[in-house]
Structure 1
Amino acid sequence: MKTAFVKEPSKISIDETEKPVLGNGDILVQMQACGICGSDLEKVFGQYGQPSMRLGHEPAGIVIDVGSGVTEFKKGDRVFTHHHVPCYDCHFCKHGNETMCKKYYETNLSPCGLSEEYVVPAWNVSHGGVLKISDSLSFQEAAMIEPLACCVRAWTKFSYRENDSVAIFGVGPTGMMHVMLAHAKKFSKIFCLDVNEFRLNFAKKFNITDSINSKDDSRKQKILEQTAGEGVDVAIIATSSLKALDDAIDIVRKGGAIMMFGVPSKGASLKLDMSKIYSKEITLVTSYAASDQDTKSALDLIESSQIDVKQLITHTYNIDDSQKAFDHARTGDNAMKIIITK
């Protein structure tokens, strides 16, 4: 079977690997669709700050074999599979920090999600890491469950109310999911900022307040003028560019919140005027990954049509063309979500 690996910086190798052997409680899934996300790009082209270098954590597919003792799943089931599942019993989990759990990092798909076939370990199978999907849901839509789950989790980290305003820095696929969530939560004003004109124009289709180029010298003034000079209630940074954080501090209102959502490179740093954060009483929070509880919420949002992820899928590539897919995703040329299929 074919599996994608990062062999050297910026290079993806598609290698023939042996078919995995199932252990007790494991299931074998034939990948049908797997999305490319920002952390994948960082693993290939950047210096990823987290330990795993496995590619593909947004896979969906068909169960083609089950290990002994598996009763909840059978051959032919259409499933989404989450790559990490926490223990729900440690100090981190009991404090709602499931993605910091040691077990969370130990539970991986093998060899990875970006493979024609992969094993879901027994722990994931028995602890909610595998979700059956309806026949009406395409595998490409199911591949969007994990990134939406990450967004869902981020929204639990800060306070907000109906009719609040938000500025979203970086309107790639997850940035647009934040736009959709803001609409679902009945925000009154949504500002989108990016340097990619295709994505700025794409965002305009979603009934937003304004779409602003991040290089526009008047970007901050435009937002302040449309928020009675106060600034937005929430700023979500869905980009790896830390310059966005500097902008967010200036355009978020006093007492507002900034969500650091995008994946920064390892060692990335920025000089900040902390007196602004202090004097404005800005809440600065981060959100890393998602738990299986978040994936369940994301699946509900998609299957109930509250969030229409189909609108975000612009390109698909075969697994053999993974390098082209990643190169395309890196440039973002006329693209939103890029999906790899078997």
Structure 2
Amino acid sequence: MKTAFVKEPSIISVNDTEKPSLETGDILVQMHACGICGSDLEKVFGQYGQPSMRLGHEPSGIILEVGPEVSEFKKGDRVFTHHHVPCYACHLCTHGNETMCSKYYETNLSPCGLSEEYVVPSWNVAHGGVIKISDSTSFEEAAMIEPLACCVRAWDKFSYREGDSAAIFGVGPTGMMHVMLAQSKKFSKIFCFDVNEFRLDFAKKFNITESINSTSKDRKQKVLAQTDDMGVDVAIIATSNLKALEDAIEMVRKGGFVMMFGVPSKNSKLDLDMNKIYSKEITLVTSYAASDKDTKEALELIESHQINLKQLITHTYPILDSQKAFDHARSGKNAMKIIITK
């Protein structure tokens, strides 16, 4: 079978690997679709700040085989599989910090999600890391359950109410998911920022307030003019570019929330005027990854048609063209969500 690996910086190798064997409680899945996300790009092209360098944590597919003592799933089931599952019992988990749990990092798909076939370990199978998907949900849609779940988790970390305003910095795939979530929560104004004109134009199709180039000199004034000179209630940074953090602090209202959602490179640094954050009483929060609780909520949003993710998919590539797919995703040229298929 074929599996994609990070061979060296900026280079992906698609190698023949041995078909994995199953242990008690494991399941074997044939990958049908797997999305490329910002953390994957950071692993290939940047300096990823987390321990795992495995590619592909947005896979969906069909169960080929189940190991001994697996009763909840069977061959032929259509599933989404979460790459990490926490313990739900430690101090971090019981305080709502499941993605910080040490067990979370120990539970990986093998060899990885970006493989023609992969094993889901027994821990994940037994602790909610495998979710059946309906026949009406495509594998490509299911491959976006995980990134939507990450967005869902982020929204649980700050306060908002109907009629609020938001600025989304970076309107790639997850940025657009934040746009959709803001609309589902009946936000009155949504401002989208990016340097990619294709993505700015793409965002306009969603009936947002305004798409603004991040290099525009009057970008702050445009937001203030439409928010009674206060600024937005919530600013979400869905990009690795930390200059967006500076803009978010400038454009969020007094007492507002700034959510750091995008994946910064390891050792990223930025000079900030902390007095401004203090005096404006800005709440700066971060959100990392998602738990299977969040994935279940994401699936419900998809299958109840509250969120339509199909409209984000612009390109698909076979696994043998993984390098082309990643290069395309990195450039962002005329692209939103890029999916790799078997």
**TM-score normalised by length of structure 1:** 1.00
Kindly provide the amino acid, as one letter, of the partner of residue 118 in structure 1. Answer: Y
Kindly report which structure 2 residues correspond to 1:1-342, keeping only aligned pairs within 5 A, or say none. Answer: 1-342=1-342
Q: Which amino acid aligns with 1:281?
A: E
The alpha-carbon deviation at position 90 of structure 1 amounts to 0.2
Distance in 1, matches of 2:70 and 2:298, equals 25
Amino acid at match of 1:56: G
Give the letter for the 1:217 counterpart: K
Deviation at 1:193, TM superposition (A): 0.2
Distance 1:314 1:233 in 2: 31
Residues 120-167 of structure 1: per-residue CA shift (max 9 Å, x gap): 000000000000000111000000000000000000000001000000
Partner Cα separation in structure 2 for residue 33 and residue 315 of structure 1:
12
Q: Distance in 2 between matches of 1:52 and 1:143?
A: 20
| Amino acid in structure 2 at the alignment position of 1:112 | C
Quick one: distance in 1 between partners of 2:337 and 2:248? 25
**SS of match in other structure, 2:92:** helix
Query: What amino acid maps onto 1:121 in structure 2?
Result: P
Q: Write out per-residue CA displacement over residues 56-113 of structure 1, whole angstroms, 9 at most, x where no aligned residue.
A: 0000000000000000000000000000000000000000000000000000000000
Residue type at the aligned position of 1:136: S
Is there any run of 5+ residues in structure 2 with no aligned partner, and where?
none
The CA distance in 1 between the partners of 2:290 and 2:321, in whole Å, is: 28
Partners of 1:244 and 1:266 in 2: how far apart?
A: 17
**AA partner of residue 277 (structure 2):** I
Alpha-carbon separation, structure 1, partners of 2:3 and 2:122: 21
Structure 1 segments unaligned to the other structure (5+ residues): none
Three-state SS of the structure 2 residue aligned to 1:175 is: helix
What secondary structure does 1:235 align onto? Answer: strand
Percent identity of paired positions between Structure 1 and Structure 2? 82
Give the letter aligned to residue 35 of structure 1: G
Give deviations 1:210-241, integer Å, cap 9, x for gaps: 00000000000100011010000000000000
Whole-Å Cα distance in 1 between the matches of residues 256 and 92 of structure 2? 26
SS for the counterpart of 2:131 is strand
Q: Name the CA distance, whole Å, in 2 between partners of 1:321 and 1:279.
A: 51
> What's the CA shift for 1:187?
0.3
User: Whole-Å Cα distance in 2 between the matches of residues 137 and 254 of structure 1?
Assistant: 42
Amino acid across the alignment from 1:334: N
Amino acid at match of 1:272: L
Distance in 2, matches of 1:132 and 1:254, equals 43
Q: Distance in 2 between matches of 1:135 and 1:301?
A: 16
| TM-score between both structures, scaled by the size of structure 2 | 1.00
Question: Separation in 1 of the partners of 2:314 and 2:203?
Answer: 14
Q: Distance in 1 between matches of 2:284 and 2:136?
A: 39
In the TM superposition, structure 1's runs of 4+ consecutive aligned residues that sit over 4 Å from their partners are: none
Deviation at 1:7, TM superposition (A): 1.0
Following the alignment from structure 1 to structure 2, what is the Cα–Cα distance between the partners of residues 108 and 62?
18
SS of 1:206's partner is: coil
Offset, 1:290? 0.1
SS at match of 1:108: coil
Residues in 1 aligned to 2:262 and 2:221: alpha-carbon distance in whole angstroms: 24
| Cα root mean square deviation, aligned | 0.3
Once residues 116 and 326 of structure 1 are traced to their aligned partners in structure 2, the CA distance between those partners, rounded to angstroms, is 17
Q: Distance in 2 between matches of 1:188 and 1:298?
A: 23
Q: What amino acid is the match of 2:144?
A: M
Distance 2:274 2:170 in 1: 23
Tell me how far apart the structure 2 counterparts of residues 82 and 118 of structure 1 sit (CA, whole Å).
12
CA distance in 1, matches of 2:55, 2:223: 38
Q: In 1, distance between residues paired with 2:112 and 2:15? A: 12
d(CA) in 2 for partners of 1:8, 1:335 = 25
